[in-house]
Amino acid sequence: MTPPAPKTRIQKRNRERILEAALEVFSTHGFRGATLDQIAQAAGLSKPNVLYYFSSKDAIHVALLGGLMETWLAPLRALDPAGDPVEELVSYVLLKLDMARNFPRESRLFANEIVQGAPRIEDQIKGPLRTLVDEKAGLIAEWAQSGRIADVNPHHLIFSIWATTQHYADFDAQVQGILGPSKGRHFEDAAAFLTAFYRRALSPD
Amino acid sequence: MTPPAPKTRIQKRNRERILEAALEVFSTHGFRGATLDQIAQAAGLSKPNVLYYFSSKDAIHVALLGGLMETWLAPLRALDPAGDPVEELVSYVLLKLDMARNFPRESRLFANEIVQGAPRIEDQIKGPLRTLVDEKAGLIAEWAQSGRIADVNPHHLIFSIWATTQHYADFDAQVQGILGPSKGRHFEDAAAFLTAFYRRALSPD
DNA sequence: GAAATATTTGACCTGATGGTCAAAGGGACG
DNA sequence: CGTCCCTTTGACCATCAGGTCAAATATTTC
C-alpha cells in the first residue's frame, strides 16, 4: 500500500511534507472532511504528485497514524517502577499535558479517529496500546497494594490522566471559548491544578 | 432557516424522526462524514422529503445542537449552593457520567463539533455556556475560600469533570479496546473510581 | 366530495472529490 | 551529451452528495 522505505532524498523530503500537511488538514477537519486538494496545497505539491508518493488518501492517513502511535505512547512507557510512585504519576500527567500543549494536532488526529469508532486503528489499540496499558496498570496496582499510593483502579486512573490532559488539546475551542484566548496561560493553570489534584488524590493516607 | 413551530402531527413526527436519525448519523460520522442519504434512510424517508422538513443538511445539524444544548447544561445548573460542597460536586460527576452512559450519541455529537473547532456552536459556548460556567465557578471558589473544599481552580475542576466523564462516551472505542467489551461494567467501575477520586481530591484537610 | 393544502418522490442538476494517465521535465551517470 | 529513470503535471474521468423541481399522492377543510 505504501512504499516501505523512501529511497531518494526527494522522496524522503516530499513524503515528509505530505505527512506534515496531512497532519494539519486531517487534525482540523477529520478524515472525511479533509480533501486531497487541501493536503496537496498545504504541502506545496500538485494533487497527482501527492498520489505519486501515497497510493490513496487512505494510505496517507494510515501512514500518519502509524508513525505517530509510538510517539504517543512514549510518556506512558517512561513510567518508572523504580521511581517514587506519586511523583512518577504526577510526572506522567505533566508529560501528557506537555504533549497536549506541544502536539495538539497529533492529539486531535487521534481524537477525531477514536470519537468516530477508531475504524482505522482498532488493531493498534487492541494490540500494542492495550499491552502497554495493561503492563503499566499492573505496576500501578502493585503500588496501590503496597500502600505507596492510594487504592485506585489503575486502568481508570490512566483513562482519567488521558482525559484531563488531552482535553486541553482536543477541546481547546471550548476551553478558549470559556476562559478567553491565551498564549499558554491555560496550560500553566492546568498544570498547577492537575499537579495538586493528582498529588492529593494519589498520596497514601 | 428552520420553521419555528411544527404545525401538523405529521410535521412533528417527521421532524423528530429526522432529528433522531441525524443524531445517530452525525454522532457516528461527524458533520462532513454524514450524508443526507444516510440520514434519510435512517429516518425512513426519501432525501427530498427530508429536505422538505429542513432546508439543508446544515439546518438539521443546527437544530440538533440547539435542541440539545440545554439538556447538556442541566446537570451543571443543578449544582446547589445550599448542599454539602463535596457531595454536590461528586453528585455532579456522577450525573455527568450517567449522561455519558445514557446519551453517548449526544456527547459524541458535541465532541465531534468541538474537536474540529466548534465552528457551528462558537456562539453558544461563548454565550450561555460560559455564563453558566462562570457562575458555578464562582460558587466553587466560595466553597474553596471558606475551606469547605480543597483549594482548587474552579474552572479547571469543571474541565476535569467534563473530561473524565465524557471520556467514557467519546472515547468508548478506546476504552472497550483496552478493557474489552462490556455491558456497562466499565461505567460502574468508572463511577466507583471517580467518586473515590474526587472525594479524596476535594475533601478539605 | 370537491377544492385547497400538505406531503412525498422520481428525475435531474451541479459542484466537489478521489483517482488515472499519458506526456513532459529533470537529474544522475556512463 | 545521450540514455535511463525518477518526478511532475495538465487534462480527464467517474462517482458521490447536496440540493431543486414539477408532478403525483395524501390529507384536511368546507
CA distance B48 to chain A (A): 23
Q: For a pLDDT cut of 70, what percent of chain A falls above it? A: 97
Residue ranges of A 69-98 with Cβ closer than 8 A to chain B:
none
Cell 473544599, located at residue: B149
DSSP alpha helix (H) spans, A34-119: 36-43, 47-53, 57-77, 85-102, 104-115
Average pLDDT, chain A: 94
pLDDT at A1 over 50: no
d(CA B152, CA A192): 9
Q: Report which of A66, A81, A73, A85 is spatially closest to residue A132, judged by C-alpha positions.
A: A73
Task: Give pLDDT tens digits for B146-195.
Answer: 999 999 999 999 999 999 999 999 999 999 999 999 988 999 999 999 99
pLDDT at residue A11, rounded to an integer: 83
pLDDT at A205: 81
Whole-angstrom distance, CA of residue A142 vs CA of residue B169: 29
Interval B129-145 mean pLDDT: 97
Q: How far apart are CA B111 and CA B104, in angstroms?
A: 10
What CA–CA distance (Å, rounded) separates B142 from B135? 11
pLDDT of residue B5: 54
Q: Which of B86, B100, B88 is nearest to B187 (CA)?
A: B100
**What is the nearest CA distance from B199 to chain A, expressed in angstroms?**
8
pLDDT digits 0-9 by tens, B14-43: 999 999 999 999 999 999 999 999 999 999
* Rounded Cα gap, residues B130 and B124, in angstroms: 8
C-alpha span between A170 and B37 (Å, rounded): 29
Residue B3 pLDDT grade (very low, low, confident, very high; cuts 50, 70, 90): very low
Report the interhelical angle of A9-33 vs A36-43 (nearest 10°).
140
- pLDDT by residue (tens digit) across A98-124? 999 999 999 999 999 999 999 999 999
Going by pLDDT thresholds of 50, 70 and 90, the confidence category of residue B6 is low
**All three cell numbers of A86:** 506519586
Nearest CA in chain A to B178: A130
Contacts of B156 in chain A (CB under 8 A): 189-190, 193-194
Question: Which helix (H) or strand (E) element contains residue B40?
Answer: helix B36-43
Kindly indicate the confidence band of residue A3, based on its pLDDT and cuts at 50, 70 and 90. very low
State the Cα–Cα distance between residues A167 and A101, nearest whole angstrom: 10
